[in-house]
Amino acid sequence: MAEEVVKYDESSIRSLDWREHIRLRPGMYIGKLGDGSAMDDGIYILLKEIIDNSIDEYVMGNGRQIEIKVTDSKAFIRDYGRGIPLGKVIECVSQINTGGKYDSNAFKKSVGLNGVGTKAVNALSASFKVQSFRDGKTKIVEFEKGTLIKEHKLQDTIEPNGTAITFIPDDTIFKHYRFISEFFENMLWNYVYLNAGLTIWFNEKKFFSKDGLLDLLKRKTNEEALRYPIIHLKGEDIEVAITHENQYGEEYYSFVNGQHTTQGGTHLNAFREAFARTIREFYKKDFDLADIRASIISAVSIRVQEPVFESQTKTKLGSTNMAPNESQSVKQFILDFLKKSLDDYLHKHPDAADALLRRINQSERERKEMAGIKKLANERAKKANLHNKKLRDCRIHYNEHKDEKKFETTLFITEGDSASGSITKSRNVELQAVFSLRGKPLNSYGLTKKVVYENEEFNLLQHALNIEEGIEDLRYNRIVVATDADVDGMHIRLLLLTFFLQFFPDLAKNGHLYILETPLFRVRNKQKTIYCYNEDEKQKAINTLGSRPEITRFKGLGEISPEEFGLFIGEDMRLQPVLVRHDTPIQKMLEYYMGKNTMDRQAFIIDNLRIEKDTVYEKEIEEEVV
């Protein structure tokens, strides 16, 4: 049979309008879609795009307050800026490359310059309403999925100037989505830190900062663990805050024009280099870069004209110069600032300078002590034939495609041959890998990083993730702990989280760490099968199917067949993100759950088990946990 010839002529060429293109290719405009379980999922980008416009109004001196209300499905944002010009409301929210930000005199150092963000929100929302208040008049326009539904007549108003937008994300695009308030609140805190004096009200909660990045670092650190008081430096178009703690690795919060650049960029690279160079020159000693930066926690914010980002979601700065028509580079600007301001600070605060020197010397001693241990551990990892014994790897890795949101690479960490076997057989071999544990991992609480190299399981896991030198070259975007919904599974989960939070906290802080949720029950009759994740869902399934359906309870992951497992780790995979509250220091949290207070840990495990419990079984649980 001859192959069918695919016709390609003028009739094959199709032009899409702005709305169709955004809805067909949403990833080009907002990155990945997601369901709200990750901080960079699309529903948060929608919120951010609207709020960014309100922030730009504040930066230009218009309005000192923003009101935000978010429910399970609806978002409302009201600012008190100048308001969209009433004759251009429709165009500003529905015509690509239309807006006021092309006039650099009006928005000199704006977050968004391309006139795309609000239009993307409009196109990707089931309903979208914009209302502009301007000079005693107001204009309301309503859309559905980017299509104009109703244009209200111009009316008089006594409301102050500004813009109000209400939208509901389209659930045909953002499937099973949910807003997680911790992600959103963290975004709002960043906004007020970067715009000292701005007040944001979110669901009646007030967000306000008086001292900018100093407040940010106070909230991100444990004051008791700081080696020296936070260094806070401000200049024209730049602000930094710097300190050292006792944690492992480096921790940075970088911003450009108020935008949280989670992937860094030219400004963060310049800051890291400038800080190390300034320290070397101040102490007149050629320290190893790793010793200078070890345990650093820092924030840096700069403002540049017409910034160039490496994606529409603006998570990485690509600009090399402070302004398009100026020769001053971002690198030289930051170097000049730190060379003067940080050097002056250390000369004026000798106690801080001495404490910083002690921290660097301690890092040098620890690095040299670890050198031999790391060498032996690396040799053991090679001998263990990592890719054949512990890790069933995937073909695509995050560190090779981290700027391409379509590659959601995942590593499942599980225990036992049956569970790992089921996931291995049902996974997507392109994007999903499996790491098999052998029994319960070691409780690493209170131990030094030396144990990461001396314990075979931890050493191999570290190599599988490629995080020995930090998470910059992380091989998987999502690290998913997959354990049974019983006491042993909960204990293994806590031990793994202890390992990650103790030695690699950036994995959680940057949204890479998750817990896999799998169904507890299968309810079915001859016509239909329903998988249920809790008692309520089970009861609803029984009522739906009727006629005494067959009910199966999955006691462990190994009891789920590979064919069924494929349903739970695909596009509709349910993940619970591991969230680290920034007002709770990690060490205090670990002490609570993994220290000597076994009664607290016992209560936590029992309360968080997703299982049916009776009095006898509860007593068995208590005995096993203790």
Q: Which of 549, 412, 423 is nearest to 482 (CA)?
A: 412
Total-model pTM: 0.76
Q: Interhelix angle for 598-608 vs 615-625, to 10°?
A: 140
Strand bridging mode 155-156 / 147-151: unpaired
DSSP 222-239: -GGG-SSPPEEEEETTEE
Question: What does the pLDDT read at residue 108?
Answer: 57
Q: Are 53 and 45 in contact (CB under 8 A)?
A: no
Question: What does the pLDDT read at residue 112?
Answer: 52
Q: Are 530 and 541 in contact (CB under 8 A)?
A: yes
3-class DSSP state of 586: helix
Phi, psi at 229, each rounded to 5°: -55, 150
Residue with token string 């050629």: 286
Contacts of 580 (CB under 8 A, 6+ apart): 501, 505, 508, 509, 586, 589
| Radius of gyration over every alpha carbon of the chain, rounded to an integer in angstroms | 27
What is the rounded CA–CA span in Å between residue 319 and residue 474? 25
Beta-bridge partners for 65: 199
Q: What separation in angstroms does the CA of 54 have from each of 68, 82, 114, 419, 617?
A: 11, 10, 16, 49, 54
Question: What does the pLDDT read at residue 571?
Answer: 78
Q: Are 256 and 302 in contact (CB under 8 A)?
A: yes
Indicate the length of the chain as a whole number.
626
Q: Set out the domains of the chain in order of their start, with CATH numbers.
A: 18-207 (3.30.565.10), 213-368 (3.30.230.10), 386-518+554-625 (3.40.50.670)
Q: Are 150 and 142 in contact (CB under 8 A)?
A: yes
3-class DSSP state of 529: strand
3-class DSSP state of 166: strand
Calculated CA dihedral for residues 178, 180, 185, 190, nearest 10 degrees: -80
Which two structure tokens, joined as six digits, stand for 23? 């809805």
What is the rounded CA–CA span in Å between residue 444 and residue 503? 9
What is the rounded CA–CA span in Å between residue 213 and residue 194? 7
Q: Please, is 183 exposed, middle or buried when counting C-beta atoms within 10 Å of its C-beta (0-12, 13-18, 19+)?
A: buried
Question: What does the pLDDT read at residue 177?
Answer: 85
Which two structure tokens, joined as six digits, stand for 204? 């009646």
Question: What does the pLDDT read at residue 611?
Answer: 44
What is the rounded CA–CA span in Å between residue 240 and residue 253? 10
Q: Which of 468, 287, 262, 446 is nearest to 375 (CA)?
A: 468
Mean pLDDT, consecutive 10-residue stretches, the chain (626 aa), reads: 58 70 82 81 89 88 92 91 92 74 53 67 94 95 94 94 95 86 87 93 93 92 84 94 87 88 88 95 94 92 85 75 80 93 95 94 88 73 60 87 74 86 90 89 85 86 87 90 83 88 86 89 91 89 89 84 86 82 66 65 58 38 38
Question: What does the pLDDT read at residue 307?
Answer: 82
Contacts of 439 (CB under 8 A, 6+ apart): 415
What is the rounded CA–CA span in Å between residue 358 and residue 374? 24
Query: Which of the 8 DSSP states describes residue 95?
Result: S
Question: What does the pLDDT read at residue 606?
Answer: 59
